[in-house]
Amino acid sequence: MKINVFESHITAVPEEQDSFSLLGYRIMKKMDIPNVMPCRRILFNEEERLLFEVPAEKESLRSAMDADPGRTVLLVLDSLADILKQTEQNEFLKREYIDFSMDTIYIVPSRGKAMFLYCPIVSSDRASFGQRLYTLLEELLGDLPNYEEERVRFLLSRISAWPETDMEEVFRFIREKFGHGVTHIKGLEFRYSGMLGSFSFYVRKPEFIIGKNQLCDGVLTVSSAISRRHCRVFQQGTQYYLTDLGSRNHTYLNDRMLIGQEAVPVREGDRVRIADVEFTVREEME
C-alpha cells in the first residue's frame, strides 16, 4: 500500500499484492468512528484508491510534539483509545486498519483531538498491529523520559522492554485508561501581585500585544520602563509563545532575557518580566 500526503488530503493506493476490503469500507462509511478522517473511494487513471479529507484546521503531529510533547502525547492516546473502543464494540471494525504513521496523524486544536486514518486495505507486507503501535509509541514517548503522568510512565516501562513487550497488554491499557478527553488551554492569565497592587491580563485570542500604548491589547502604564509596544503573546497550535518587540528594557522568561525575535513557549507557573514588572502565568483550562 502506498500512502501519499498532500496539504488538503491523503490518498491510499493498493499495490499489486494488496486487496481492498469492500466490507471494511462500507462498515467504515456506515459507522461514525470517532477521530477518523472522512474517506471516500475513488478511481483515478483507472486505479482504485481511498481519499481522506485532512481537517482544514490542523497541526501536524510532529509540529505539535515540538511545541508541547507532554500534552500532545495525552491527546493522541485519548483519541486513539476512542477508536480502539469502537473497534472492540463492533466485530466488523478492525483495529488493523488504523494507520499509525506520524505523517498521517493530525491535531485539531479547537477540538482537542487527534485524527487518524482508518484504511481498509489488506497488505501482505504491512507490519502487524502490535509492531506498528509499538513504533508510534516509541516515537511519541522517546523524548519523555522524565514525564510524571502515571499512565505514560506505565507505557514507557512497557516500551523499554521491547521485544518482550506484550502489545496486547499495551493495547488493553490504552483502551481502558485513556479516552476520557483531554483538557486543553483556552487562554492564559498574566497575574501581577506586588507593590503596585494586584491585576491580571487575560490572553484569549491568537495574538496579544502588551505595552503602554493605549491601542495594545494589554495596556501597561504602571512603569516608565515599559515600551509602547513591549512584547507579544501568540498562539500556535495548542501552545502559547512569548516574544519581545524590540523593547528598550527587554522581556524576560524565568529570569532569562529574550533575544531579538526569539519566540519561547509560555506555560503554567512561568514568570514573565516585562521591563521591571513581573507576572506569573496561569493556564485557563476548558
* 26-51 average pLDDT score: 86
Q: Which grid cell is 214?
A: 493605549
Query: Which of 124, 77, 102, 109 has its CA nearest to residue 5?
Result: 102
Amino acid letter at 278?
A: E
Q: Give the domain 188-283 fold.
A: Tumour Suppressor Smad4 (2.60.200)
* 6-35 average pLDDT score: 86
* DSSP helix/strand/coil, 138: helix
Provide the pLDDT for residue 225. 96
**When comparing pLDDT for 20 and 210, which is higher?**
210
Would you kindly state where each structural domain of the chain is located, as residue ranges?
2-179, 188-283
The predicted-structure confidence for 155-188, as pLDDT tens digits, reads as follows: 878 777 777 778 788 878 887 777 655 455 678 9
Long-range CB contacts (within 8 A, 24+) of 108-112: 108/55, 108/57, 108/58, 108/59, 109/57, 109/59, 109/184, 109/237, 109/238, 110/57, 112/75, 112/181, 112/182, 112/183, 112/184, 112/286
Provide the pLDDT for residue 104. 95
Q: Record the pTM.
A: 0.60
Provide the pLDDT for residue 126. 64
* 15-24 average pLDDT score: 85
The predicted-structure confidence for 50-94, as pLDDT tens digits, reads as follows: 999 998 888 999 998 888 887 888 888 888 888 888 888 788 888
CATH number of 2-179: 1.10.510
